[in-house]
Amino acid sequence: MKKKHAKLISIFMCFVLVLFAFGCQSNTESAFKAGKYTGIGKGIHGDIKVEVEVDDTKILSVKVLEHSETPGVSDSAIAKVPQEIVDGQTVAVDIVSGATYTSNGIIEGTKAALTEAGGDMEKLSQKKEDTTERKTEELTTDVVVIGAGGAGLAAATSANQNGAKVIVLEKMGKAGGNTAISGAAFNAVDTELQKEFGIEDSIDKHFQQTYEGGDKLADPELVEILVNNALPAIKWLESLGMEFEHKIFTVLGGMWPRAHDPEKVLGTGFIDTHMEYAEKSNGGVEVKINTNATELIKEGDRIVGVKAEGEDTDYVIKATKGVVIATGGFSQNKEMRDKYNKQWEDISNLMSTNHPGATGDGIIMAEKAGANLVGMEWIQLLPMGDPETGSLSGNIEQGVEDRIFINLDGNRFVDEGARRDVMTKALLEQKDQTMWTILDSHSYPTGDEENHFGETANELVKAGRAFKADTLEELAEMIGVDADSLVKAVEGFNKGVDEGKDEFGRTLFKDKIDKGPYYAGKRVPTVHHTMGGIQINTKAQAINAEGNVIPGLYAAGEVTGGIHGSNRLGGNALADINVFGKIAGESAAKGL
């Protein structure tokens, strides 16, 4: 009997071993067909071509082969996303903040390649569990700057130049903020350069246009600081190694030709200049990315530090001299937009030009610490948003003087050199709230010239983001507007060039639109700038509800209010962040 039981047990065990072997074989079947595969994803400027190499069981490499993304803005995504896919063996990786479209394009291209390789996309789309154990670290420095955009980095450089050690906290995956993706036009009265181009200007004119352009609702003392220190701020940047083109132009809603254009694409020149300074500072300026400031530390009535959350570390950072808030505005925070908006009928569904991190964090932190908020109801819209993304990229204009706007019927509808709020209000009243920007080869003699976002007209046409035709009639057919109306609109503009004004009250002219080929680009309203924020004085010190200085707290850039009133002139933001960023850093370093 025992022998019989032993025999049955042996048979059962053999059966189990067979099942186990079969199961092991199933688990070790090839996950992929080994080889190299390519896939295409959609970036912000066009297709991103990705090459993925796999063996039987895993992803070996992900490489971006071709793309048209913006250098300096997309670099971090192109470096980080492929590596994280390989490290995690999953396409469920985090996007790189500030490079959303590039990140998604790389992921989309990788998915296409892995699908061709026979991968199980359900398994490959599962997010890897984060098992990192968090730790707490206490640090002490002279100055803490919250935000590594243009204002924050200007403050950090300035504070260090004035003898302070600085820690900069940036919640996004890279430095740059809105500055990095901006058109980078920098308003400054520069009479010596302007005279070369036959332009008369003055500090008084810049003041009046800024103050009156904001309906006289700004603090005139802050406006005085802005316009008087704009050109010195450019000279300061040049002393740090930044380069500007030898030209002057009028940016959309700028009201006058006083905008300076950096040599580097977009606003990357500002960010690169300060980051290079930080790298050479021997630890004088330390920038911590992926580190989100959550709370200001207050002792009595003084701000003495910041609490923050890093990727795997919680920080308590004491600042012996001061804290500078430079976190930008709240254009990407729909709840805050709806809460404060009194200017527009409904902007809840509008896209924004801003980077994803513009969510008003610094304003909320400062208010909790007692800071007074001013001008929060004033939210700037632009008529120049990309129809798909809301961003300013793809905008074909080179300057205000040489282009017109037409609606979907082919008619002009506004002074194209007016205030930004005036132009956008007019666009909101048009069919589908959509317009076409029309210009000619005076702006693009060959088509290979770049706009203010590093894109050529030929590239935009190839990507389907702009249209090009030898005649206005052909252009009208391409974009679906009435040809007679378009021709009449252009004739009206050209008459205005001859006479110096036209039926819409326009006064900014240069060349006629009469030289083919002609170009058109579609644009829609988009949320661009929030004029309200933390109240500051001329030393960039934060002010409380009683009108008193909050010791140890400073602010600069779009996080502040009171500088632009109800409407910001185009080109004044870059002046603002650099002028007041520099002041905030100096004030904090000196403990004012």
Q: Are 53 and 181 members of one domain? A: no
CATH number, domain at 66? Answer: 3.90.1010.20
Three-state DSSP class for residue 401: helix
Distances (CA, A) of 402 to 88, 417, 468, 492, 509: 51, 10, 16, 13, 6
Name 405's bridge partners.
437
Own/partner pairs, 486-493, CB within 8 angstroms, 24+ separation: 486/406, 486/410, 486/438, 488/410, 488/411, 489/404, 489/406, 489/410, 489/411, 489/412, 489/438, 490/404, 490/438, 490/514, 492/412, 493/404, 493/412
Same domain, 349 and 476: no
Q: Is the pLDDT of residue 1 over 50?
A: no
Between 174 and 437, the higher pLDDT residue: 437
pLDDT for residue 99? 77
Q: Which of 77, 99, 124 is the last residue of a domain?
A: 124
The domain that contains 503 carries what CATH number? 3.90.700.10
Proportion of the chain above pLDDT 70, given as a percent: 94
414 and 465, same domain (yes or no): yes
Tokens of residue 196, six digits: 């070369």
Residue 327 lies in a domain: yes
Phi, psi of 113 (to 5 degrees): -65, -45
Query: Tell me, what's the pLDDT at 7?
Result: 52
Cβ atoms < 10 Å from Cβ of 280: 9
First to last CA, the chain: 97
Which pLDDT does position 28 carry in this prediction?
36
Kindly report the average pLDDT of the chain as a whole number.
92
| CA dihedral sign, ordered 155, 158, 160, 164 | negative
| Digit-coded pLDDT (tens) for 45-94 | 778 999 999 999 999 999 999 888 877 678 888 988 999 999 889 999 88
Look at residue 193 in the predicted model and tell me its pLDDT.
97
Q: In this structure, is residue 17 part of a structural domain?
A: no
Q: Do 408 and 497 fall into the same domain? A: yes
524-540 mean pLDDT: 97
Phi, psi of 184 (to 5 degrees): 70, 10
Contact between 343 and 419 (Cβ < 8 Å): no
Cis preceding-peptide flag for 517 (omega within 30 of 0): yes
Domain-embedded: residue 370: yes
Does residue 462 share a domain with residue 374?
A: no
Which whole number is the average pLDDT over 373-380? 97
Assess if residue 362 is contained within a domain: yes
CA distance 566 to 445: 38
Q: Report yes or no on 87 lying in a domain.
A: yes
Look at residue 6 and tell me whether its pLDDT is greater than 60.
no
Domain boundary, last residue among 476, 500, 526: 526
Q: Is residue 405 located within the same domain as residue 418?
A: yes
The string of pLDDT tens digits covering residues 310-327 is 989 999 999 999 999 999
CA 505 to chain centre: 33
pLDDT at 24: 41
Domain encompassing residue 481:
385-526
Q: What does the pLDDT read at residue 323?
A: 98
Give, for 272, the enclosing helix (H) or strand (E): helix 268-279
- Percent pLDDT > 90 in the chain is 79
What pLDDT is attached to residue 12?
A: 47
Place of tokens 């295409």: 40
Mean pLDDT of 211-218: 97
pLDDT tens digit string along 464-497? 999 999 999 999 999 999 999 999 999 999 999 9
Angstrom distance (rounded) from CA 532 to CA 373:
7
Whether the CB-CB separation of 587 and 534 falls below 8 Å is answered with: no
Closest CA to 441 of 400, 403, 389, 491: 403
Distances (CA, A) of 501 to 347, 443, 506, 508: 33, 21, 5, 8
Over residues 177-182, mean pLDDT = 93
- List the CATH number of the domain containing 339: 3.50.50.60
Q: Which of the residues are catalytic? A: 420
**461 and 319 both lie in a single domain:** no
- Give domain status of residue 10, yes or no: no
Q: Residue 2 pLDDT > 70, yes or no?
A: no
Look at residue 7 and tell me if it is in a domain.
no
Q: Could you please report the per-residue DSSP string of 516-583?
A: SSEEEEEEEEEEEEE--EEEB-TT-EEEBTTS-EEEEEEE-GGGEESSSTTSPPTTHHHHHHHHHHHH
Rounded distance between C-alpha atoms, residue 545 and residue 540, angstroms: 16
Cα–Cα distance for residue pair 275/262, rounded to 1 Å:
16
Give me the mean pLDDT over the 555-582 stretch.
97
* Least confident stretch, 125-134, 379-388, 512-521: 125-134
In a domain? residue 420: yes
Same-domain status, 56 and 98: yes
Q: What is the rounded average pLDDT of the residues 525-553? A: 97
Q: Residue 19 pLDDT > 60, yes or no? A: no
Based on the fold, state whether residues 522 and 535 are members of the same structural domain: no
CA distance 528 to 261: 19
Kindly state the tokens that stand for 47.
């297709």
What local confidence, expressed as pLDDT, does residue 72 receive?
67
Are residue 314 and residue 451 in the same domain, yes or no?
no
> By C-alpha distance, which of 188, 577, 565, 150 is closest to 380?
565
Q: How many distinct structural domains can be found in the chain? A: 3
Q: Indicate if the pLDDT at residue 14 is higher than 90.
A: no
pLDDT in tens, 439-465: 999 999 999 998 888 889 999 999 899
If asked whether residues 156 and 286 sit together in one domain, one would say: yes
Do both 536 and 503 map to the same domain?
Answer: no
Last residue of a domain, which of 124, 154, 188? Answer: 124
Report whether pLDDT(541) > 70: yes
